[in-house]
Chain A
Amino acid sequence: MTDQPTPAVRDVDTAEAVRLASEGFRVIDVREQSEWDAGHVAGATLLSLGDVAARITEVVPDRDTPLLLHCAVGGRSARAASWLVQLGYTNVVNLKAPITQWKDRGGRWEEPVQLLTPGQQRRYSRQVLIPEVGQEGQRTLLDAKVLLIGAGGLGSPTALYLAASGVGTIGLVDDDVVDESNLQRQVLHGVDRLGMRKVDSAELTIRGLNPETTVVKHAERLGADNVERLISGYDVIVDGTDNFDTRYVLNDAAVRLRKPVVHGSIYRWDGQVTTFVPFEGPCYRCMYPTQPPAELAPACSVAGVLGVLPGIVGLMQANEVFKLLLGVGETLAGRLLMFDAMGTTFDEVRIWRDPACPACGEGAGDAPAVPASAVSA
């Protein structure tokens, strides 16, 4: 093939090209994908210069089809048009003018809705490639608001990976300061943060990892008095606290406000994860109607905990968050997953909605909350 345009290709200006397109000429865009993505003639077909000779017969089998070729200014498309004539296409015209004039001359133009900025497209490309995520899913993550109760052992890995993956808003509820004994597992923090509020330290780390993530700091303890205010603005709550009072208070409020809670707990070498989706699956009270005595819930500071355990459990919680936000896969709703680090085994048991549950059972529905103290006394 020669690169010289042959006389059989007629050059047209924009006004004529727009008219021909409206009269049924098939528009072939020979630019590159990135140029196409920025906007293109409505109804056009993208066949980049490197592809057009090889693919035209498959895309346009009928060689008498009237074809209008264009690129950015008319150079590449002139070459492509000459090739098509040599391949036997009988009615080929070339737009010899800047394609930027197309809209101004009344031509129909499509600009794809940009869900992600070019920077976001680059940053999140590896997960945007996953069919269940895609641009729409990534947009969902960027618009999502996730609240972590605790910026400690479980909250650290959860926060790091949610932020890295582009979850747009991460709220942190924690009134503690960074202590040296935290650093063995609380990887949000470091030796230069000792004595700093955990929410401040976490914000620094998250900002360094992903400046796009908004960190909302709640330097307070979650209790019956503030729980609804704290959780109401969020899509998903991640529970990584160490005491039963908080877990029951959170559960009851989450059921009332219909907020899914991803539950994680750890003890030495053992971890548990489940997801509570109000009224779709069981809640914490369905599982444990009665609040256990405090000695069954020794804090890490008393019982000890293997450093990697909150890492493993916290990331399983993060995985649940992604599925809840994206609406894909199967969450742990209705299942309690138990991880034994000593034997490296996973077990699960089924948990059921209790019709008599004081929080989400029949009759509890939209009724006012049962105070934790009244039920667990």
Chain B
Amino acid sequence: MSTVRIPPVLRENTGGSRSVDVAGATVTEALEDLFAKHPALRDRVTEDGALSSFINVYVNDRDVRYRDGLGTEVGPDDTIILLPAMAGGARSGR
């Protein structure tokens, strides 16, 4: 099992869980297992079956865009980090 780190804005879709243990040998398989456990996440993370372009996926500290994309292999000690952009800060200045 590898671990998927759930970003704060998506925790409402995991019942508040900050990380979820998942099965799978690749990022794609791991995410499928994640969606099986928390179906509401699928629509938040994917668009038309593909990963949303505004969510970055890291295996440990490496962006999968610079590895093998969603085919990047994951092992039991790996952490998958889903990282949507976070904008929070001061209300003003916008």
Which of A's residues lie within 8 Å of B, judged by CB? 149-155, 173-176, 198, 221-222, 239-247, 264-270, 272, 287-293, 296-301, 303, 305, 310, 336, 340, 342-343, 347-352
**How many Å lie between the Cα of A1 and that of B13 in the bound state?**
86
30 A/B residue pairs, CB under 8 Å, sorted by A: A151-B90, A152-B89, A152-B91, A153-B89, A173-B93, A175-B92, A176-B92, A176-B93, A242-B91, A244-B85, A246-B94, A247-B85, A247-B87, A265-B86, A266-B89, A267-B9, A288-B54, A289-B53, A292-B84, A292-B85, A297-B85, A297-B86, A298-B9, A298-B88, A299-B88, A340-B18, A348-B61, A349-B62, A350-B61, A351-B63
| A293 / chain B contacts, CB cutoff of 8 Å | 54
In the complex, the answer to whether B90 meets A242 with C-beta atoms within 8 Å is yes
Which of A267, A292, A310 interacts with B8 by CB under 8 Å?
A267
Most chain B C-beta atoms within 10 Å of own C-beta, residue among A173, A289, A296: A296
- In the complex the two chains form, what is the Cα distance from A242 to B91 in whole Å? 6
Are B94 and A245 within 8 A (Cβ)?
yes
How distant is the Cα of A291 from the Cα of B53 in the complex, in angstroms?
Answer: 9
- Distance (Å) between the CB of A243 and the closest chain B CB? 5
If A247-B87, A292-B85, A296-B85 touch, whether A241 touches B58 (CB-CB below 8 Å) is no
How close is A168's CB to chain B, nearest CB, in angstroms? Answer: 22
A290-B54, A292-B54, A350-B62 are known contacts. Are A174 and B92 too (CB-CB below 8 A)? Answer: yes
Residues of B within 8 A of A150 (CB): 89-90, 92-93
Known contacts A288-B85, A298-B88; is-contact A350 B63 (Cβ 8 Å): yes
Cβ < 8 Å to A, chain B residues 36-63:
53-54, 56, 58, 61-63
Taking a contact as CB atoms under 8 Å apart, the answer to whether B8 and A300 are in contact is no
Q: Which of B54, B86, B93 has the most CB of A within 10 A?
A: B93
Question: A350: which B residues are within 8 A, CB to CB?
Answer: 61-63
Which of B54, B61, B92 has the most A CB atoms < 10 Å from its CB? Answer: B92
**From residue B21, how far is it (CB to closest CB) to chain A in Å?**
16
Residues B8 and A270 in contact, CB atoms below 8 Å apart:
yes
Known interface pairs A293-B54, A296-B54, A296-B84; A349-B90 also in contact (CB < 8 Å): no
A-B CB proximity, top 6 nearest: A152-B90, A150-B90, A176-B92, A297-B87, A292-B54, A150-B93
Q: Which of chain A's residues have a CB closer than 8 A to the CB of B8?
A: 267-270
Determine how close the nearest CB of chain A comes to the CB of B57; give it in whole angstroms. 10
Contact with A along B68-94 (1 / 0, CB 8 A): 000000000000010111111111111
CA distance A350 to B83 in the complex (A): 12
Contacts of B58 in A (CB 8 A): 349
